[in-house]
Structure 1
C-alpha cells in the first residue's frame, strides 16, 4: 500500500502515534532497512522536497497599491488631482510629496514582512543520516521522503515528523513546539490512544525539535507542509489582525472625509445661490477642502511613530511595523508564553527535602552534611559538563546540569569529586526503569549513587521515612516541581558489584533526599506583571506545561492563585470554553495550561471576541501563529526563534518581560501625541471652516482667499503638527486604564475640545473681519489682518494641544524644544511674507502696523485662557464624580 501525503490528495493522514510499528511500516510501504534509492527518488519527484510551502510573493506594485488604498490617502490624491487641474500646482505637489513619503515608509515595512515563512523554512533545512538500501549515509533534509529510515542521536535536529522504531535513553527538547520546558522522554513501539495530544505523543519526533540525549531509529511519516511545524507555517499565511491604530485611523479618515465634503458642498451651494462665479467658487471649495482635510496628518503620524520607535529602541523594544508602536498602549490583555518569556527556560533545583530534617533552604544547605551528601551523589551520577566560570556553556541533559549547579551551590566541586572518585560502571537513565545509577570508587570500596523518579527510587530504600518521602514528593509535584529522589549505597572492596550484577545491586539504598526542580522565573517578571496590572492591563499566561506546574508559576508571579482560574487544552478540545459562557470563562481565566499551538490562536481569537485588544508574547515556533493573529505580536530577541521574531510586530532585544511595561508607556505616549496632532489639525481646520461658513451665511465676502487658506494651512500646521510628535510622555500614563478597544480617535473629549477651540477661534476671527469691514476697511485689508490673526491663533493654540487634560503652564517648554522652533518659524514666515517679492503679491498681504499687532496678540492669546478654563471645569467635574463614587 502506498501512502500519499495529505497535501497532495486532501485525505487526512493516518494517526501515526496510534499505529503499531508494523502498521506504520506497512502503510508507508517501507521496512527497517529503509527505502531503495530508486523508490526514494520516485517519491521525491512525486511529492516534492522536504520544504515548507512558500506563500505567494507580493510584487512591489501590489505592496504600493495596498499602502495607498486607504480613505485618507485616496482623498488626498483626489484633492491633489483637482488642485492640479485647477492650476494650483504648488499644493498638488505638496500633497503628493506627503503621500509618497508615507507610502515609501509603509512599503518598506511590508516588504520586510515577506520574510516571515523564510525563517520558518530554514528550520528544517538541515543535514541528517538516512538508511537506504540497508546502508546509512548523510543526506540533506530537503531530500527526505515519507518512508525514509533515519538514525539520530544527541545534538541532532529533527528534520521531519518521525515515528520511532527503536530508541535508547531518548530525550527530546520540544519547548519550541509544545512549550514544554523540560526534556521529554521518548519511547518506541507502543501505540498510543488516538486522542493523545501533540505534547503527549512520546512515540513521535517532530520537525524542528532537538534530540537532547540518547539515540534512535525512526521512519519519516510527514515532510514539509504536512509536518506539525508545516501546519504552523500555513497558519502564518492567514491575514493578521492588524494594529489597532490602522483601524482607528481608517474610521477617522472616513468620518473626516464625510464632514469635509458636506461642509464644502454647503459652502458651494450658498455661494452659487448668491451668484458667485463657478470657477472662483470651485477653486475656493478646493482650498477650503484642503484646509479642512489634514493632509499633513500622515507625515505627522509617521514621525510620531518614528520618534516613539527610537525611544522604544533605547528601552530594548525593536519595532518591525510602525503602526504597531502605539498598540501596546491600547492593549487590554497580554497573553504571554511562560517558557523563556516569564521563566529562564533553564531547569534549576529550587527545593530540597532531607530525611529527618524536612525542607531545607538552599541558602543554608552548604553547611548541612546531608544536603552535601545528596549533592555529591547527584554530581557523581551525572554525564553533563558545567563550568561555574562559564555557566552558559554547560552541555548535557538539563536535569544533569541542574544537579551540577546544585552541587556548586552546596560548595562542592563536581570536577574534583569526579577525579577523586573515578567511575567504575553505570546504568544510564532509561525511561522504563526511570532512574540512573553510577558506581564510583570510594576509599577501598565503592559508592553507588542513584537518582530518579521518587515513586521508583524511594521504594528501593530502607528506613521508616519512605511513606513520608512519597507524600512529600506528591505535594511538591502538586506545587509544580519535577521531583527526583537521590539515594546511595556503600560497598566494601570484596563485594563491589560487576557490570552484570549492578542492576540487582540497586536495592537496599539509603535515601539521601528529594530535589524539586523548576524552571525559575526571570528576576524582573513579577514586578513587570504587577506594573502591567497597575496599568490596567491583564496578564494571562499560556503554556504547554501541566496545570499544576503552571499554577505554581502563576502564584509566584501574582497572575493566579486558584485552580478555577485555569483553562486547559482539554477544556478547549471539549468545547466547554466556547459560546457566550465559554468566552466569558476565557476572559476570566488567568492561566491556559497544556495547550497546543493551534489552541493559542483560538485563545487569542476568543479574547478578541470578548472585546480585548490582545498583545501576545512568545519565543518559540509554537507561538508564531498566535503572535500573528494577535493585535500585537511581541517576540523575544535573544532566546527566541527566528520564526517568532520575523512574524512579530515588536521584538524585545533583552528578552525581558519588564521591557513590555516600557513599551506600554511609550506606546501610550505615541498615541497621545497622535491625538495631539489631530486635535491641532482638526481644531484649526474647524476654526477656518466656522469663519468661512459664518461669512458666507451673513453675506460677507470670504474672510480669506483660496491662496491665503492654503498658505495658512502650510505655514502653521506644516511644522507645528510635526513638532507635537516630539512631545515627551505625560506623567501618570501608566496609571491610566487602557483605552477601550472600540474607542474612536474622535471621542467625546476630543470632540469637545475641537468644538470649543474651533468655534471660539472661528467666531472671533469672523468678528474681527466683520468689524474691520464695518470700520470702512477694504476686503483686502480685512483679509490681511484676519490672516495674521489666524496665524497667531494657531501659534497659541498649539500649546493647548500639548495635553488634553494638563494645564499648558504645567508642561515645561524644555520637554519639546522642536515645538518652540516650529512656532517661531511659522510666525517669522508670516511676518516676512509681505516683504518677499512675488509672495506678497500672490498672498495679497502687506505689513501690519505695530499698534494693530499689539491688539491682535492678546486676542489670539485668549484661546489659551478659554481652553485652560475648559480643562479646569473638566478636572473639577471629574473630581466631584470621583468623590461621589
Structure 2
C-alpha cells in the first residue's frame, strides 16, 4: 500500500486517489476486488506454531532425556516391558503439559471473539454495517459516538467530532477533529484531520475515506516493533532448568561410579548391573514432577480465569507470586473510567454529591442533609442548564445497567441531574451554539415551562467569568479562581454553567447574545473516581511488600490527587513522588534508575518511557508487572515479567504481547492474581518437598543394595510405578491446599531464590534416610526369613507408597503441626488417599497388574510392615518440624 502523508493533502485528493465517491462509496464489486488486492483488515498474528511442534516442545527437558536414554538401554537389554512403561511415562508428562497449555490459549481466543468489532460504511449509495476485517482502502466510513474506528481514515466531514486516542497515543483526553490540511511535519498526536484504527469516537459525527488497513495502519506499524523486544524467562523456568541440570549431573556421575563399583567390586553380570543402575537412575529422576507441576499451574490458571484473569501460559502463574512492583495504568484500572460530579459550587455555598459512576444513585447534599430542589431555585437552574445543554444520553438497560453515549464529562452531568430529589427537565433547544474548542462553550435558547425564555450556557469557567462580567484581577473573580485552583489540585475538572433571560420574541442565539449579561449559576467539580476495591487492593499490596506505581497520560496534578486517594506513596507522610515523561527524557541512565525506584507516579509518559521504566526496574532486581491497553503499551508489556492487558478496552496487539488479560480491567484482579500466584508457588514447593523424598528413598535403597551386593528390592518398572502413581494421585492433593495465613503479609521472594532452600535439602535427605533405612531393615528381615524375592519386592513397593501416603499430611503444612483447624479443609487429600489405597490393592491382587509390575498377592499380615513404617516416618517428621519451629527457630 502506498505510503503518503494523507494529513498533508486535501481530502478530495485522497478520495480521487482511491477512486471512490463521497456519497455512494464503493460498489460491492470494487470492495471485493480491493479485499483481494489488499487483504483483510486485520493485524498479522504471526506464524502459529504447529500443534505437533508444541507437543514435541514438552519433551525438551534434561530429565526427560535421561529417561529416554534409559528406555534405549532397556531395549538393548531386551526388557521391552520396562521400555514401554518408561516411554508411556514420558508421553503422559508431555500430554498433560500440552493439554493445559491449549486450555489457556482457548480461554484467550474466547475473549477475542467476544470483542470482535464492526464498521458502518457507505457502499452502493447505502449505509450498511460490515465486519471491520472487511473494510478496504477507499471505503467511506460513517463515524458516530461510541464507534471503534476500523482503519486509518482521512476525514472530509467532522461535526463536533472528538476521538479517544489513548490506545495509540496514551492521551486520555478526547482529541477534537477537523478536516483542514496540516503541515508536513505534524506529529501523530496532532494529526487532527485523521482518525486511527483501534481508537474510538468520543462524541460528534463524521465521514472519512479509508487510506490504510491492516498492517499498514499506525497500529500495524507499531506491531512490527514487538519482534525487537526481548522476552524474559520466568523465575520458575529458570529455577527448574537449574534444578534439572543439577539433578541430571548428579544422576549421571552417581550411576557411572556405581556401575564401576558394582562391576569391579561385586562382580555383577553386566546386564544385571546395567538394569540395576538404570533402576537407580529412574529412581533418582522425579519424572512425575513435570506432570504435577503442570497440573498445579493449570489449576492456578483455571482459578484465575474464574476470578477474571486469563493467563496465557502456565509458568506465568508462578511468576505472579514473585512480583515486587506493579506499574499500573490509571484510567479504568485504578479508577472506574466513569466521570463523576463530586461537588457543585454555587455562588453562596458548596454542595457535596454522593455516589460514583454513571448510575444515578446518590444525593446532592448541603452538609449531611439532602437538598430539596423545590426550595432552591439556583440549584434547579444549574441542574436544568447542565442537563439541557448536553449532547450525551443516559439510559438504563433491561438488566438494570446504566449506559451512556457521548462525552464522559457530559454524561456525568446527566447523572448529577438524576440525583436531584425531584425530576429535572431536559428542555428542547429552540436554537443552539455547538461546542467548539476555539471558544470552549456551548449554548442553547430554551423556553421554560412558565413560558419564560432563557439562554443556558455550559463551558470552561474562564469564558463564563468574562460573560458574567467578572474582570480579570477583580476580587470576586479571584475568589472563584481560588476555589477552582483548590479543586484542580484535588484532581477535578471544572465545568461552569450560566444563564440569561431574553425577550419572548427572541428565536435565535449567537455569540453576541452570550458575550455579556449572563448570570453565573455555579461550577461542577468532576473526577474519575478510584475504584473502591482498588483502594483496598493497593493497601493489600503494601502489606505484601509489593510497590504500586501509577503510569498515566494524564496531567501530573490529576494523577497525584488520584494517587493520594488510592493510598499510593509514602504510607506515613502521605507524600506522593511524581514526575513527568518530559523530565525522564532529559535524564541520564543513573538518574532514570533513581527516578524509577523513588517515584510513585509517572505522568504524561510516552511508550518509550514505559519500556525504559520496566527495563530500569528489572535491572534493579525487581519482578515487574506492567498493565496496558494500547498498541503503544505493547513493547513494555512484552518486556515486563508479567504483561497485563485490559480485556475490555485493550487492543488485540496489547493482549498478544501480554502474559495475562484482565476480563474486567480491574486493578483488584491483578492483586488477586498475585495472591493466587503466591499460593501456587507455595504449593509447588510443598509438592517438591513431598515428591523428592520418594526419589531419595528409592535411590538410597538401590544404592545400598549395590554397595553391599544384595538383591535388588525393586525393578525399574516398579520404581516408575511408585513415582507416577504418587505424583498423579496423592501429590495432586497439595495443589488444592488453601493459601496459608500470613502469605500476603510477607515480602515477595527474591528473584534468585533457590527452589530448594538449605532446610528443604535437609528435610528431603532426612526423610529419605529414615524411610530408606526402615525399608532396608524390613527387607533384610524378610530375606533372612526366606521369603521369595517377588514377595519382598511387593512389600517394599507397598512400604514406599505408604511412606508417601503418610508423608503427604506432613507436607500439607511446611512447619506447623498437621492436626490444626485446617486439617479437614482439603477434602481432596482424603479422596486421593482412598483412591491410592484402592489402586495399590489392585496392584497386589489383580492378576494382569501382577504380570505388568512383577508383584504377587500377599497375606493380610504383611500389610503391617508398610503401615508401621509409614506411620513411624510421619511421627518422626512431625517431631522434627516441632524442633525446627520451637527450638532451632529456623526460617524456611
Q: 1:732 matched to which residue of 2?
A: 742
CA contact (8 A) 1:437 1:450 kept: yes
Structure 1's 46 and 878: CA in aligned 2 closer, same or farther, altered over 3 A? farther
Q: 2:198 matched to which residue of 1?
A: 208
Q: 1:558: Cα distance to partner?
A: 0.7
SS at match of 1:411: coil
CA contact (8 A) 1:347 1:518 kept: yes
Q: 1:441 matched to which residue of 2?
A: 447
Q: 1:36 matched to which residue of 2?
A: 19
Q: 1:335 matched to which residue of 2?
A: 327
CA contact (8 A) 1:68 1:103 kept: no
Structure 1's 37 and 426: CA in aligned 2 closer, same or farther, altered over 3 A? closer
Structure 1's 144 and 730: CA in aligned 2 closer, same or farther, altered over 3 A? closer
2:434 paired with 1:428: yes
Q: 1:790 matched to which residue of 2?
A: 800
In structure 1, C-alpha distance between the alignment counterparts of 2:215 and 2:350, rounded to whole Å:
52
Q: 2:567 matched to which residue of 1?
A: 558
SS at match of 1:430: coil
Which of 270, 273, 287 aligns to 2:279? It is 287
In structure 2, C-alpha distance between the alignment counterparts of 1:635 and 1:147, rounded to whole Å:
32
Structure 1's 772 and 48: CA in aligned 2 closer, same or farther, altered over 3 A? closer
Q: 1:179-194 residue pairs with structure 2 within 5 A?
A: 179-187=170-178, 189=180, 191=182
Q: 2:386 matched to which residue of 1?
A: 378
Q: 1:251 matched to which residue of 2?
A: 242
Q: 1:452: Cα distance to partner?
A: 1.0
Q: 1:634: Cα distance to partner?
A: 3.6
Q: Matched residue pairs, number?
A: 851
- For structure 2, list consecutive stretches of 5 or more residues without a partner in the other structure: 355-363
CA contact (8 A) 2:468 2:516 kept: yes
Deviation larger for 273-282 or 476-485: 476-485
Structure 1's 118 and 872: CA in aligned 2 closer, same or farther, altered over 3 A? closer
Q: 2:501 matched to which residue of 1?
A: 490
Q: 1:417: Cα distance to partner?
A: 4.1
In structure 2, C-alpha distance between the alignment counterparts of 1:714 and 1:33, rounded to whole Å:
71
2:48 paired with 1:57: yes
In structure 1, C-alpha distance between the alignment counterparts of 2:101 and 2:665, rounded to whole Å:
28
SS at match of 2:287: coil
Q: 1:506 matched to which residue of 2?
A: 515
In structure 1, C-alpha distance between the alignment counterparts of 2:741 and 2:515, rounded to whole Å:
66
Structure 1's 222 and 878: CA in aligned 2 closer, same or farther, altered over 3 A? farther
Structure 1's 785 and 388: CA in aligned 2 closer, same or farther, altered over 3 A? closer
Deviation larger for 600-609 or 40-49: 40-49
Deviation larger for 356-365 or 324-333: 356-365
Q: 1:680: Cα distance to partner?
A: 1.8
SS at match of 1:809: coil
Q: 2:218 matched to which residue of 1?
A: 228
1:559-608 residue CA offsets vs partner (Å, 9 max, x unmatched): 13778622433244x152x6344234213332222234454344333333
2:86 paired with 1:92: yes
1:403-426 residue CA offsets vs partner (Å, 9 max, x unmatched): 111111233534x342xxx42211
In structure 1, C-alpha distance between the alignment counterparts of 2:391 and 2:842, rounded to whole Å:
82
Which of 89, 101, 104 aligns to 2:98? It is 104
In structure 2, C-alpha distance between the alignment counterparts of 1:113 and 1:243, rounded to whole Å:
21
SS at match of 2:332: coil
In structure 1, C-alpha distance between the alignment counterparts of 2:326 and 2:809, rounded to whole Å:
35
1:730-759 residue CA offsets vs partner (Å, 9 max, x unmatched): 333222322222323223332232122223
In structure 1, C-alpha distance between the alignment counterparts of 2:451 and 2:94, rounded to whole Å:
85
In structure 2, C-alpha distance between the alignment counterparts of 1:653 and 1:37, rounded to whole Å:
40
Structure 1's 623 and 410: CA in aligned 2 closer, same or farther, altered over 3 A? farther
Deviation larger for 630-639 or 479-488: 630-639
In structure 2, C-alpha distance between the alignment counterparts of 1:855 and 1:55, rounded to whole Å:
60
Deviation larger for 388-397 or 272-281: 388-397
CA contact (8 A) 1:81 1:92 kept: no
Q: 2:686 matched to which residue of 1?
A: 676
CA contact (8 A) 1:316 1:654 kept: yes
CA contact (8 A) 2:771 2:869 kept: no
Structure 1's 45 and 304: CA in aligned 2 closer, same or farther, altered over 3 A? closer
2:545 paired with 1:545: no
Structure 1's 375 and 849: CA in aligned 2 closer, same or farther, altered over 3 A? closer
Structure 1's 147 and 536: CA in aligned 2 closer, same or farther, altered over 3 A? same
Query: Normalization by structure 2: what TM-score?
Result: 0.84
Q: 1:319: Cα distance to partner?
A: 4.1
CA contact (8 A) 1:381 1:450 kept: yes
In structure 1, C-alpha distance between the alignment counterparts of 2:278 and 2:670, rounded to whole Å:
45
SS at match of 1:212: strand
CA contact (8 A) 1:458 1:470 kept: no
Q: 1:854: Cα distance to partner?
A: 4.9
Q: 1:480 matched to which residue of 2?
A: 491
Q: 1:535 matched to which residue of 2?
A: 544
Structure 1's 412 and 394: CA in aligned 2 closer, same or farther, altered over 3 A? farther
In structure 1, C-alpha distance between the alignment counterparts of 2:310 and 2:66, rounded to whole Å:
32
In structure 1, C-alpha distance between the alignment counterparts of 2:41 and 2:791, rounded to whole Å:
79
Q: 1:270 matched to which residue of 2?
A: 261
- For structure 1, list consecutive stretches of 5 or more residues without a partner in the other structure: 6-12
Q: 1:535: Cα distance to partner?
A: 2.1
Structure 1's 634 and 224: CA in aligned 2 closer, same or farther, altered over 3 A? same
SS at match of 1:738: coil
CA contact (8 A) 2:461 2:495 kept: yes
Deviation larger for 318-327 or 430-439: 318-327
Q: 2:358 matched to which residue of 1?
A: none
Structure 1's 655 and 691: CA in aligned 2 closer, same or farther, altered over 3 A? same
1:751-795 residue CA offsets vs partner (Å, 9 max, x unmatched): 232122223323443455456667888877766655454333223
Structure 1's 51 and 856: CA in aligned 2 closer, same or farther, altered over 3 A? closer
In structure 2, C-alpha distance between the alignment counterparts of 1:262 and 1:701, rounded to whole Å:
23
Deviation larger for 620-629 or 300-309: 620-629
Q: 1:758-773 residue pairs with structure 2 within 5 A?
A: 758-769=768-779
1:705-730 residue CA offsets vs partner (Å, 9 max, x unmatched): 44543454355445222333333333
Q: 1:364 matched to which residue of 2?
A: 365
CA contact (8 A) 2:495 2:523 kept: yes
1:180-234 residue CA offsets vs partner (Å, 9 max, x unmatched): 44433235548579685x5555454222222233345667665432433113433
Q: 1:8 matched to which residue of 2?
A: none
In structure 2, C-alpha distance between the alignment counterparts of 1:805 and 1:641, rounded to whole Å:
46
CA contact (8 A) 2:85 2:717 kept: no
1:510-554 residue CA offsets vs partner (Å, 9 max, x unmatched): 122221222222231111211222222222222222222221111
In structure 2, C-alpha distance between the alignment counterparts of 1:47 and 1:853, rounded to whole Å:
74
Q: 1:105: Cα distance to partner?
A: 0.9
CA root-mean-square deviation:
4.1
2:119 paired with 1:126: yes
Structure 1's 594 and 75: CA in aligned 2 closer, same or farther, altered over 3 A? farther
In structure 2, C-alpha distance between the alignment counterparts of 1:400 and 1:311, rounded to whole Å:
39
CA contact (8 A) 1:637 1:654 kept: yes
Q: 1:460: Cα distance to partner?
A: 1.8
Q: 1:400: Cα distance to partner?
A: 2.0
